[in-house]
Amino acid sequence: AARLGEAKQTIPHFYLRRDILLDELLRFRSQANKQLETRGVKLSVNDFIIKACALALQAVPDANAVWAGDRIIKLKPSDVAVAVAIEGGLFTPVLKDAHLKTLSTLSTEMKELAALARDRKLAPHQYKGGSFAISNLGMFGIKNFDAVINPPHGSILAVGAGEKMPIVNEDGEIAVATVMSVTLSVDHRVIDGALGAEFLSEVKTNLENPIGMLA
């Protein structure tokens, strides 16, 4: 808590928000889980978010960067940290090379790391590294929020709950869609507004076209 308090005071945060249409992802997830049931794998929406962000870091490599005190260091692999709430605190285990892993592998690995985090048994190499993190409070019904960047990361994505709401579709008609709000907190020393917007747009594209994440 003290570390994040200091981070909030010393890191020049700015925030970018997007709404993401989830219905295609939810349909795809339902079909995939039926096929994966015999293997004991059940994909969560968060698994897709991890994959979408990992691929976006590769598509927008300048966003895959950290602040090293007086300079920017760019990273090559998509090592994605995911916040896990534990009693009295928070751990952020890191999924290494997330862009190279299948959704089912990411799902299994995330469950294992989350269990270790809750038991306070994570080894240092399991929670250090990466340039980017995800904090998802959607399961608690939170619509949107601003997450604090975990230094030296360059950014963190705050994920809210998916909610059914009216939208205007591509045909100009009113329709009901499942919409999820996300907020990207960015360290302005590392990522400027245009770069952050490009990265967030890539995340949105991946989530709204989930089959593309299998290519």
CA distances from 34 to 23, 25, 30, 31, 43 (A): 17, 14, 6, 5, 10
- Catalytic entry in 13, 125, 153, 188: 188
Residue 47 to residue 38: CA distance in whole angstroms: 19
Half-sphere exposure of 2 (CA within 13 A, CB side): 0
Active site residue 188: yes
Give the integer Cα–Cα distance in Å for 88 and 78: 29
Alpha-carbon dihedral 213, 118, 154, 149, rounded to 10 degrees: 130
Residue 144: how many other CB atoms lie within 10 Å: 16
Q: Name the residues annotated as catalytic.
A: 188
